[in-house]
């Protein structure tokens, strides 16, 4: 059986908003009076991206890679966690085609931060920011997001496989 040259993965994550933490989205610190609670830096966007990538390569999920039961991951930088996943030897043949993310948050308003977030994520994948889509939406005051109790993110990734054969690279 051959392995497909393309793979799609979907990731979803949610973290509660709490006082006393900084808000980090896509590796960018976003000014806000609350941050996200979690074992690591709680970057809900990068966690969803990690799960999308891992889904595409059938590599489990971020919790299997970096369990919250492990003290070494307390307050970990999610950029570094995602880099470990992307650059794992078993994933090196997979390259980003594009990534589409939707951040669901009532506050803060994120449009001004989207360009920096796109560049931050692109740098992790050694990709062009044009390959990264980041959208922000509210939930029209409905549910936990609408009550400003948390932030949710959905991410979809398309990867292509590059096969290395000697000095020849095939896509």
> What does each of the 171 residues of the chain score in pLDDT, given as a tens digit?
456 799 999 999 999 999 999 999 999 999 999 999 999 999 999 999 999 999 999 999 988 898 887 777 777 899 999 999 999 988 989 999 999 999 999 999 999 999 999 999 999 999 999 999 999 999 999 999 999 999 999 999 999 997 544 334 444
What sections of 27-165 are H helices per DSSP? 44-56, 62-65, 78-86, 114-125, 143-146
Q: What is the pTM for the complete model shown? A: 0.90
With b for 16 or more beta-carbon neighbours within 10 A and e for fewer, the 121-152 pattern comes to bbebbebebebbbbebeeeeeeebbeebebbb
Q: Which domains does the chain have, with CATH numbers?
A: 6-170 (3.30.1330.50)
């Amino acid at each position: 059986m051959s392995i497909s040259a393309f793979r799609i993965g979907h990731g979803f994550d949610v973290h509660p908003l709490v006082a006393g933490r900084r808000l980090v989205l896509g590796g960018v610190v976003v000014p806000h009076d609350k941050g996200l609670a979690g074992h690591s830096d709680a970057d809900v966007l990068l966690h969803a991206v990690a799960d999308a990538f891992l889904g595409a390569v059938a590599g489990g999920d971020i919790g299997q890679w970096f369990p919250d039961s492990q003290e070494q991951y307390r307050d970990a930088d999610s950029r570094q966690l995602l880099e470990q996943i992307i650059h794992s030897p078993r994933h090196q043949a997979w390259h980003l085609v594009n990534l589409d993310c939707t951040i669901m948050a009532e506050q803060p308003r994120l449009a001004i931060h989207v360009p920096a977030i796109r560049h931050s994520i692109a740098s992790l994948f050694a990709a062009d920011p044009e390959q990264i889509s980041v959208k922000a939406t509210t939930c029209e005051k409905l549910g936990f997001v609408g009550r400003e109790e948390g932030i949710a993110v959905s991410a979809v990734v398309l990867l292509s496989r590059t096969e290395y054969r000697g000095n020849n690279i095939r896509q």
